[in-house]
Amino acid sequence: MKLYNTMTRKKEEFQPLEEGKVKMYVCGPTVYNFIHIGNARPMIIFDTVRRYFEYKGYEVNFVSNFTDVDDKIIKKANEEGISAEELSQHYIEECKKDMAGMNVKPATTHPLATQEIGGMIEMIAQLIEKGYAYEKNGTVYFRTRKFTPYGKLSHKNLDDLRSGGRSLLVSGEDEKEDPLDFVLWKPKKEGEPSWPSPWSDGRPGWHIECSEMSRKYLGEQIDIHAGGEDLIFPHHENEIAQSEAVNGKEFARYWMHNGFLNIDNRKMAKSLGNFRTVREIGEQYDLQVLRFFMLSAHYRSPLNFSAELMQAAKNGLERICTAAANLKYLMGNTKAEEMTEAEEESFAQSEQYVKEFEAAMEDDFNTADAVSAIFELVKFANTNSSTENSKAYLKALLERIVKLSDVLGLIVEPKEELLAEDIEALITERQAARKAKNFARADEIRNGLLEKGIILEDTREGVKWRRA
């Protein structure tokens, strides 16, 4: 299996740190609003990467955080007259709904930055002790030049750099020993949430959050660190500096980054009026269509979102779903049970499409070619199946289409219709689970209902549901 490593700028053979296991960290969203389709791309892409590793028999420890303390969160919470915690918790729940709609599997662990502050303080203290960080008037900075390989991921020359980006531009620039030094801890301002630390009551810088959460849940070294290409610099560059300075070893073996997403050939921006949330897309299309659209191009390529391309994705997904539904129909209308010798030979021929699918995925997760292989399998199934065939043969073809589609996170089998009273019973059970703080069971019920085409909406009046 080969994947493109941003660090070396070439495709490399994947060799896990530990045989049969993959440790993977993906930077998650900052939760101050509904997630937008730019957030959706890495969620879908790296969920698919995870699914393929699992399909190949790897045990994947997949960690993806929620940044739940940040300037944007604080600003929006103040505008709405609620706490930053209330705001972020609300949007974490909304994000999970959208992720379920896109059939993104819950991470092994979804750490929240605010629940890991103690570990961040400990890591900052270790960096100070090792001479990689220093404190000035309650702010702690990282000595960028002391970490000599700085710039190795973004391939930027240290002398050409200017510190920038979220959490870096703080007041008191003249306090820094060097303009390139970035913030690890900053003192609180009026009206901001804060935590006690040896340096000041304040909060961590953005970059230290991911370094600490990755170390806590995956260890000092990981196999794959992933995210959007906008995170290469400064976020991932700074993570490397912090993690390798404190741990004294290579942080991640492979760095994967997805390309940008444009809307109608323009960069998505609120000022351009083309900012699209996943929730808005879900009002127009099944979110499975959005997932199919995201997988229709190579993950490292820029991707353009448009109504025409979404319609093409809808048609493509329907083509697979129709083939699956047809096979199911034929299974219910055939008399023969066991596979004949001729059918066994025919089914064996379909193995070539599985090989094409795997070859595409093994070549830096080329999902566009993997989708093409599924289309070829669908064409084969449509041409080589009828009520004359046995149930076993038709079932085997259906299972092959479903299995490969599932690797891409595409749900192609017709959803089983649930009765209204069954739905209400599950909603009651979910409410009880939430009251008992059994959020895992509550999420399980929501996701299970979503798989069957039932969308839950938590409103002030209670839980409402509708069929997708």
Residue 264 binned pLDDT confidence (cut-offs 50, 70, 90)? confident
User: For the segment 100-140, what is each residue's pLDDT rounded down to a tens digit?
Assistant: 999 999 999 999 999 999 999 999 999 999 999 999 999 99
- SS3 assignment, position 276: coil
Any bridge partners for residue 218, and if so which?
none
Residue with structure tokens 């960096």?
Answer: 127
Query: Is 172:166 a contact under the CB 8 Å cutoff?
Result: no
Question: Same CATH topology for 2-258 and 278-407?
Answer: no
Query: How far apart (Å, rounded) are the C-alpha atoms in residues 70 and 85?
Result: 11
Query: How far apart (Å, rounded) are the C-alpha atoms in residues 233 and 118?
Result: 26
Query: How far apart (Å, rounded) are the C-alpha atoms in residues 127 and 142?
Result: 8
Question: What phi and psi values does residue 198 have, to the nearest 5 degrees?
Answer: -65, -15
Query: How far apart (Å, rounded) are the C-alpha atoms in residues 300 and 453?
Result: 31
- SS3 assignment, position 293: helix
User: For the segment 379-408, what is each residue's pLDDT rounded down to a tens digit?
Assistant: 999 999 999 999 999 999 999 999 999 999
Query: How far apart (Å, rounded) are the C-alpha atoms in residues 144 and 365?
Result: 34
Q: Where are the domains of the chain?
A: 2-258, 278-407, 420-467
Task: Say how many residues make up the chain.
Answer: 468
Residue with structure tokens 């959020």?
Answer: 439
Average pLDDT, the chain: 93
Neighbours of 290 (CB within 10 A): 25
Residue 250 binned pLDDT confidence (cut-offs 50, 70, 90)? very high
Query: How far apart (Å, rounded) are the C-alpha atoms in residues 3 and 392?
Result: 37
Question: What mean pLDDT is predicted for residues 83-107?
Answer: 96
Per-residue model confidence (pLDDT) at position 166? 39
Query: How far apart (Å, rounded) are the C-alpha atoms in residues 190 and 301?
Result: 43
Exposed e or buried b per residue across 252-267, where buried means at least 16 C-beta atoms within 10 angstroms of its C-beta: bbbbbbbbebbbeeee
Query: How far apart (Å, rounded) are the C-alpha atoms in residues 124 and 211?
Result: 10
Per-residue model confidence (pLDDT) at position 243? 98
Query: Is 260:302 a contact under the CB 8 Å cutoff?
Result: yes
Class of domain 278-407: mainly alpha
Per-residue model confidence (pLDDT) at position 161? 67
Could you give the residue ranges of the DSSP H alpha helices within 364-419? 367-383, 391-407
Burial of 140: CB neighbours in 10 Å, binned 0-12, 13-18, 19+: buried
How many percent of the chain have pLDDT more than 70? 96
Neighbours of 452 (CB within 10 A): 16
Class of domain 2-258: alpha beta
CA atoms within 13 A on the CB side of 428: 6
Lowest mean pLDDT of 330-339, 400-409, 450-459, name the range: 450-459
Question: What phi and psi values does residue 375 have, to the nearest 5 degrees?
Answer: -60, -40
